[in-house]
Structure 1
Amino acid sequence: MSKKSEKKYIRKIIEAGNTLEVINYISGRIGARGNGRGEGEQEGESEEKVQRWKWKRAEDKCRWLINQNFGPGDLWMRFGYPRGTRKTPAEIRDDVKKFLEKLRRMYRRAGKDLKYLYTVGIGSRGGIHFHAVFSAFDSEKIETLWQDIAGTEQVPYPSVNTRHLDRRGHYPSIAAYIIKNARQTFGTDRQIFGKRYCASRNLKPPKIRKVIVHAGHWLKKPKPKKGYYILQDSVRQDIGQNGFPYQSYTMVRLQI
C-alpha cells in the first residue's frame, strides 16, 4: 500500500488526574481526502451548531481541570444570596472578588494554597447562585465568610451547601453543572463574567498529546489500558464538527 493511500487516524489522549480521556478521530488533513467536510454538510455551519460545540469544548476543558487539580477531601460548594436579592453583574463581581481575596488570606494563614474553579449564574426568577470547587479547607469557615459578605439584616445567614469530592477522581457531573450554571447568563445583558467559568492561576493544565495511528479503523469496543477501567457510559461514537466520525471514552485508574 502506498503512503498516499495508507489509512490512519488521530488519537488524542488527555491525562488529567486519575483519568485518561481518549478521542479517536479522522482529520480532513490526515486519513481522508477532501476539504474536511462530511458528505451533504452545508457550506458554513449554523450559529446554533457552532455554539453547541463551543459549550461542549468549555465543558471538556472544565472537566479536565477539575480532574487534574481536585480530588478526595476537596470541596464542591453552592453559595446563595438571601431570597429576593437583586444585584447588578458589577455588584456580584465585587462580592465575589472580596470573598476570594479574604478566602485567599484565610488559606495563607493556615499554610495552604487556595485553588478554585467557579461560575455564577442568575436563575429565571432572578435568584443568584455561586458554584465553586475549592481545595480542602474548613468548610464552616468558608461558609461564615460568605455569609458575612452576602448576608443582610433580615437574612444574615444565606444558604451554603457543601459536599466533599469522593474517591473516584472523576467529576464530570460537577463540570456539567458549572457549565449549565454559566449558560443562564452568558451572552446576555445579565452576564457576570467574560468567561464561561473562572479558575485560579495555580491550576495545573492536563497533559495532552496526539499520536497518528496507522490503521483503517478503531475498535468499536475499546479496551482499557493496564491499571485502568473504562467508564462504559462515557463511550461515544458520533460525527465530529468537521463532518468525520470520532470515538471518545474515559479510562479511570483502578484504586488499589
Structure 2
Amino acid sequence: MAYVHRVVKAGPCVEHKKMQSFRVHTKGVKRGPNTGHTTEKQERINERVAEEHLRWDINANFGHRDLHAVLHYYVKDSSFEEILENKAAFLRNLRKLCKKRGITFKAVVVIETKRMTNPHIHVIISRMDPEIITEAWENVPRGGGGISFKPMDRRGNHYKLAAYLMKESRSTMERYREIGKRGKRYSKTQNMDKPEITYTAVPASSWRKDPKARKGAVLYKFDDGSTCRSGWHEISGYPYQEYFEIFNE
C-alpha cells in the first residue's frame, strides 16, 4: 500500500502534494464524488497544470522587488492580432534597450483580453529601472500606451498571483481559438531557472492530517488561514493533500 509524494522546489518555496495515482493507490481508499463531464474535467485539469507551471516559474525566478508591470492601451479598439504584434514588438524593444545597458532580465508575459475595450498585458520581470520598460512600450501600440508597476512581495510563494494571471488568460485562449491559432496561456524568456521536481512512492496507507514545516521553514497560509488543502483528483476521484513550505532566503 502506497501513495505518491511530489515535491517541487522553486526558489524559497517547496511544494508538497500527496496523492493517490492511477498506478499507485491504497486498497480501500474511497473515491470522491463524480462531478461534471469528462471534457469539463479535462479543461479544469489543463488549467490547473498550467497554473502549477506558471507558479513554479514565478517562484523559481522572481522575488522581492522584482516587478509586476501591466501594459495598458490608450486606444480601445485594438484587435487581438494587433495585441500579439504589440507584445512581440515590446519584447524586441526591451531586449535591445537592456542589451545596450548590459542588463540581463527574465520575464513572464500574460495577455488579458476579457474586455477587448480594455486589453492589457501583464509582465512579471526582473528588477530594473521602470523607465526602461516604459520606453520599450509607450510608443508601441497604435495611439500609445501607459504602464502601471507593482513591486513583488517577499512572501516566497506567489500562489495568488499565478492563480490570478491564469484566470486572466482564459479569455486569451478563446481569442486564439477565434482566429484559428494555437496559443499559450503565457510566454517566458528562455533563461528561466527550472524547478526541481521529485516523485516518491511512500509505503503508507495514509498521510499526516496536519503537516508540519521542517526546520528553517514556515508553512504558507491560504486566505482562510489554513496551511494545507485537500480534495479529490478530477479524473481518478482519489484524494490528495497539498501544502507549501517557505524557507528563509
TM-score, normalised to structure 2's length? 0.88
Q: Give the partner amino acid of 1:184.
A: S
2:197 to 202, 208, 222: 208
1:180–1:31 distance in 2 versus 1, CA, 3 Å = closer
Q: Distance in 1 between matches of 2:209 and 2:218?
A: 16
Matched, 1:240 2:233: yes
Q: Distance in 2 between matches of 1:109 and 1:145?
A: 13
- Residue matched to 1:181: 168
1:127-182 CA-to-partner distances (Å, cap 9, x unmatched) read 21100101111112211321121262xxx4x3311011122222122212221221
Deviates more, 1:44-53 or 1:123-132: 44-53
1:85-120 CA-to-partner distances (Å, cap 9, x unmatched) read 322x32222211111011012112222212110111
- Residue matched to 1:196: 185
Contact 1:28 1:37 in 2 (8 A): no
The share of aligned pairs that are identical, in percent, is 29
1:54–1:227 distance in 2 versus 1, CA, 3 Å = same
- Residue matched to 1:10: 4
Contact 2:213 2:219 in 1 (8 A): yes
Q: Distance in 2 between matches of 1:161 and 1:39?
A: 44
Contact 1:14 1:206 in 2 (8 A): yes
Contact 2:230 2:241 in 1 (8 A): yes
Q: Give RMSD over aligned pairs.
A: 2.4
- Residue matched to 2:140: 149
Contact 1:22 1:249 in 2 (8 A): yes
Contact 2:172 2:185 in 1 (8 A): no
Structure 1 stretches of at least 4 aligned residues deviating more than 3 Å after TM superposition: 31-34, 36-42, 190-193
1:224 to 193, 213, 227: 213
Q: Which consecutive unaligned segments of at least 5 residues does structure 1 have?
A: 1-6
Aligned length: 242
Partner of 1:150: helix, strand, or coil? coil
Partner of 2:58: helix, strand, or coil? helix
Contact 1:21 1:248 in 2 (8 A): yes
Q: Which has the larger radius of gyration?
A: 1
1:160-219 CA-to-partner distances (Å, cap 9, x unmatched) read 110111222221222122212211131341688700111111111100001111111111
Matches within 5 A, 1:1-256: 7-32=1-26, 38=31, 41=34, 45-87=37-79, 89-150=80-141, 152=143, 156=144, 158-187=145-174, 188-189=177-178, 194-233=183-222, 234-241=227-234, 242-254=236-248
Q: Distance in 1 between matches of 2:89 and 2:30?
A: 48
1:29–1:167 distance in 2 versus 1, CA, 3 Å = same
Q: Give the partner amino acid of 1:139.
A: P
Q: Give the partner amino acid of 1:111.
A: G
Q: Distance in 2 between matches of 1:123 and 1:10?
A: 38
Q: Give the partner amino acid of 1:96.
A: K
Contact 1:75 1:163 in 2 (8 A): yes
Q: Give the partner amino acid of 2:118.
A: G
Q: Distance in 1 between matches of 2:19 and 2:32?
A: 16
Q: Distance in 1 between matches of 2:146 and 2:161?
A: 19
Partner of 1:148: helix, strand, or coil? coil
TM-score, normalised to structure 1's length? 0.86
